[in-house]
Structure 1
Amino acid sequence: MDYQTLSISIADKLATVTLNRPDVRNAFNEQTINELTVAFNELGRDDVVRAIVLAANGPAFCAGADLNWMKKMAGYTHAENNADAMQLAQMLRAIYLCPKPVVAKVQGDCYAGGMGLVAACDIAVAVEEANFCLSEAKLGLIPATISPYVIKAMGENAARRYFLTAERFSAREAHRIGFVHETVGADALDAKVNEIVKALLTNSPNAVKEAKVLVREVVNQPVSDALLADTALRIAQIRASEQGREGVQSFLEKRKPNWLN
């Protein structure tokens, strides 16, 4: 695909997807949504890629929806609005369900739909100077499409406050409520993201993929007989897998596993 709103690079098993509309603070429109959906679907299928970083060019990470796109939506019919919202929902799901681990590299302010992008990632690192805001209520809207991911990331209590008040909050607060995993100075952002990526690439690609699924499917489940059986089956299957056997054998033989060669 000839990407117009993103730049994508692949090197050393890492793909970097960069929002590239700095003139509008990386606000997204229908083209950006389509390009992100295609990019994450394709990278998820690419055997060369073992991890993905979602980054942005310019001072802001993402300001949410593009104003010109919002103006167009004001004239949409109900059916057109619904179809448009579904495109955004499918884009967020493509990031969330991507079989490769995704790290959000938040180098600046992150508002509204931009918070949905970050929440759909597996790991989020933000600079200490970044601000966050779920600003939809100020415009008479609600953060509906991004809510499944944002509520998972920050929790119900924090979501209840920030969905309702549309207050701007700091990276420190985003870290306190669990929305981002770490905050660092701007000069340390690259190093911290690289450290996390290195950890991801050291691990078994299959184990990382299955661990991502495990968290998603076990969270909030009651500790029932069915859950015990499910988790026992998962570990039994991965023990018998090629990488499971290789990992244990390489540990016993005190050598690197073959996925590091």
Structure 2
Amino acid sequence: MDFQYIQLEIAEQTATIWLNRPEVHNAFNPVLIEELQSCFDALNQNNQVRVVILAGRGKSFSAGADLNWMKAQGEAELAENEADALKLAQMLNALATLKQPTIARVHGAALGGGMGLASACDMCIASSEAKFATSEVRLGLAPSTISPYVIRAIGARQASRYFLTAERISAKHARDIGLVHEVTEPEQLDQKIQDIIDALLLGGAAAQTASKQLIAMVATEQVNAELLQSTAKHIAHLRQGAEAKDGLNAFLNKQSPSWVKTTSEQ
């Protein structure tokens, strides 16, 4: 696939998507949003890719929206403005609902929409030099399209502070409030991500997709009879699947399941 503002690399069952507008700190514009949407859609259909990494070229992960684009949309007709914003919202949802586990590799600034991308990924691994912020209020805006994912990551209480103050959040504090899973020194960032990829590849692909769906299904629900029934159906369906039968038989026979590649197969 040919892109103008992103680069896609696929190796050893892992796809790495590089945001590639380093001269503007990987800021969003309509082309970048469209390219990410197309890339996510293609990867969602690719059964050979087991893990998706989102990363940024240059000094920053992403500084969020291109301000010239945002200004132009503010001057457009309301219907055009809404349609444009919906494309960003749909792209973030495509990332959040990818069937593969997703990891944000954050090495520099992740501001506004950049923090939204990091939040929409299943996991966020950050360099100790990374900085985060929902900076929209300082531009007279609100973090509207990224809000479902940021609030899912840090909760409404923390959002009540950072959506309103737009304070910069250090990598360490981002870990403390739940946005970041691991903080490493810059030179150790890729090794930490590789460690997580290695752990992910030991799990079944269908089981991981089902686990992502399970989290979405139960995260905001009360424990009641309906939820108990839903979770029972969820595991019953998985137990009848070929992947579970393979995995359980392999474990009981002290073997590796078919999805785990041996050294000779890699």
Residue in 1 aligned with 2:160?
A: 160
Residue in 2 aligned with 1:96?
A: 96
Residue in 2 aligned with 1:13?
A: 13
Inter-partner Cα distance in structure 2 for 1:103 and 1:116: 13
Residue in 2 aligned with 1:123?
A: 123
Question: Which stretches of structure 1, 4 residues or longer, exceed 4 Å deviation after superposition?
Answer: none
Q: Secondary structure at the match of 1:221?
A: coil
- Aligned residue type for 1:190: D
- Aligned residue type for 2:217: E
Compute the displacement of 1:67 (Å): 2.5
Compute the displacement of 1:80 (Å): 1.2
Inter-partner Cα distance in structure 2 for 1:185 and 1:2: 33
Residue in 2 aligned with 1:213?
A: 213
> Any stretches of 5+ residues in structure 2 without a counterpart?
262-266
Q: Secondary structure at the match of 2:110?
A: strand
How many residue pairs get aligned? The number is 261
2:250 maps to 1:250: yes
Residue in 2 aligned with 1:70?
A: 70
Residue in 1 aligned with 2:264?
A: none
Inter-partner Cα distance in structure 1 for 2:213 and 2:203: 15
Inter-partner Cα distance in structure 2 for 1:74 and 1:220: 34
Q: Cα deviation per residue 1:104-163 (whole Å; 9 max; x = unaligned)?
A: 000111100111111110000011111111111011100011101100001111100000
User: Bigger shift: 179-188 or 67-76?
Assistant: 67-76
Inter-partner Cα distance in structure 2 for 1:243 and 1:212: 16
Compute the displacement of 1:77 (Å): 1.3
Q: How does 1:50-199 map to 2 (within 5 A)?
A: 50-199=50-199
Inter-partner Cα distance in structure 2 for 1:92 and 1:70: 17
TM (normalized to structure 2)? Answer: 0.96
Inter-partner Cα distance in structure 1 for 2:30 and 2:185: 33
Inter-partner Cα distance in structure 1 for 2:21 and 2:35: 13
Inter-partner Cα distance in structure 2 for 1:132 and 1:252: 45
Inter-partner Cα distance in structure 2 for 1:220 and 1:68: 37
Residue in 1 aligned with 2:25?
A: 25
Compute the displacement of 1:74 (Å): 3.1
Computed over aligned residues only, the root mean square deviation of the Cα atoms, in angstroms, reads 0.9
